[in-house]
């Protein structure tokens, strides 16, 4: 598989700090700082962003900052916004072709307004939940972050972005109704960006799931799928693990 140029670049889009017990059932309340990543994937001439970090509203005081501040200490400067991070790696935000959203939580979807010309790829179940006022509220989605008029591709389960098997959405529902992860087949290995199906490396190694989420049993089944991919040799990158994130190179290819 050397036919296409393919790489992954992690983008640092701020931090969230909260009690560990919010992220791991049974953990103590000591604060833990989570990185908020977005991921740039370059596939030949195409540019894909997997998740978008947080909304610019959270760089300063305001109603949304107050609401998020009830649960999290937000670390977000203007330099951490996804458009700034894209420019850091010489990508004009308006040149992003596809935005794959793992799910509609504010730390994954908040930066969507900053990539106005991209086509959005999201699981149908997630988008439907996001359009339903009751389900959106129950899942803490903020409709103003994603109901922006982008072209939207609704995926039903596995979705191969380019038809060559190299970059594929993998449904991992449970954390939210239509959560998805992203599998990238590099020349000599497979990387799976887990997003919130597994917050930490420890989650993949049998650690506890968070106490909250859409469907705990469904989440556990999705996590089993990621564990089996890892057992089969894939590198599964958890969504919010500080040590894992800090150890990544600036470009994976």
Q: Which residues bind Zn ion (CB under 5 A)?
A: 105, 196
Neighbouring CB atoms inside 10 A of 211's CB total 13
Spatial distance between the Cα atoms of 110 and 171, rounded to a whole number of angstroms: 21
* 47 vs 181 by CB, closer to Zn ion: 181
Spatial distance between the Cα atoms of 81 and 60, rounded to a whole number of angstroms: 13
The most distant pair of C-alpha atoms in the chain lies apart, rounded to whole Å, by 49
In the complex, minimum distance from the CB of residue 175 to Zn ion, in angstroms, rounded to a whole number = 6
Q: Which residue has its beta carbon closest to Zn ion?
A: 105
Helix (H) or strand (E) holding 159: strand 159-160
In the complex, minimum distance from the CB of residue 90 to Zn ion, in angstroms, rounded to a whole number = 29
Name the β-bridge partners of 253: none
3-state DSSP assignment of residue 103: coil
In the complex, minimum distance from the CB of residue 54 to Zn ion, in angstroms, rounded to a whole number = 12
User: Order of strands, edge to edge, in the sheet holding 190-195?
Assistant: 159-160, 167-171, 180-185, 190-195, 235-238
In the complex, minimum distance from the CB of residue 103 to Zn ion, in angstroms, rounded to a whole number = 6
In the complex, minimum distance from the CB of residue 191 to Zn ion, in angstroms, rounded to a whole number = 20
* 93 vs 239 by CB, closer to Zn ion: 239
* 105 vs 185 by CB, closer to Zn ion: 105
In the complex, minimum distance from the CB of residue 55 to Zn ion, in angstroms, rounded to a whole number = 14
* 47 vs 203 by CB, closer to Zn ion: 203
In the complex, minimum distance from the CB of residue 203 to Zn ion, in angstroms, rounded to a whole number = 13
Spatial distance between the Cα atoms of 39 and 163, rounded to a whole number of angstroms: 20
* 75 vs 213 by CB, closer to Zn ion: 213
* 84 vs 101 by CB, closer to Zn ion: 101
Could you tell me the CA-to-CA distances from 107 to 13, 26, 64, 172 in Å, in that order?
A: 9, 23, 13, 18
* 6 vs 72 by CB, closer to Zn ion: 72
Spatial distance between the Cα atoms of 8 and 223, rounded to a whole number of angstroms: 22
Spatial distance between the Cα atoms of 136 and 180, rounded to a whole number of angstroms: 17
Spatial distance between the Cα atoms of 188 and 194, rounded to a whole number of angstroms: 19
């Amino acid at each position: 598989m050397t036919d296409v140029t393919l790489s992954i670049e992690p983008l640092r889009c701020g931090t969230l700090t909260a009690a560990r017990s919010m992220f791991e059932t049974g953990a103590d309340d000591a604060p833990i700082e989570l990185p908020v990543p977005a991921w740039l994937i370059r596939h030949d001439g195409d540019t894909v962003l997997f998740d978008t970090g947080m909304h610019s509203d959270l760089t300063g005081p305001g109603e949304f900052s107050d609401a998020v501040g009830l649960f999290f200490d937000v670390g977000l400067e203007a330099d951490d916004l996804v458009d700034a991070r894209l420019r850091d790696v010489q990508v004009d935000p308006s040149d992003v072709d596809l935005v794959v959203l793992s799910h509609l939580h504010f730390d994954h979807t908040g930066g969507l307004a900053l990539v106005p010309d991209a086509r959005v790829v999201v699981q149908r179940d997630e988008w439907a939940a996001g359009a339903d006022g009751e389900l959106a509220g129950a899942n803490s989605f903020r409709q103003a972050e994603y109901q922006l008029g982008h072209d939207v591709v609704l995926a039903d389960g596995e979705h191969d972005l380019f038809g060559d098997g190299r970059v594929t959405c993998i449904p991992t529902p449970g954390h939210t109704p239509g959560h998805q992860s992203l599998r990238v087949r590099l020349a000599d290995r497979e990387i799976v960006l887990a997003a919130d199906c597994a917050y930490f490396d420890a989650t993949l190694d049998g650690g506890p799931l968070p106490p909250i989420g859409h469907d705990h049993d469904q989440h556990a089944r999705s996590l089993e799928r990621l564990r089996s991919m890892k057992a089969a040799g894939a590198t599964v990158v958890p969504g919010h693990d500080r040590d894992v994130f800090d150890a990544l190179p600036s470009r994976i290819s």
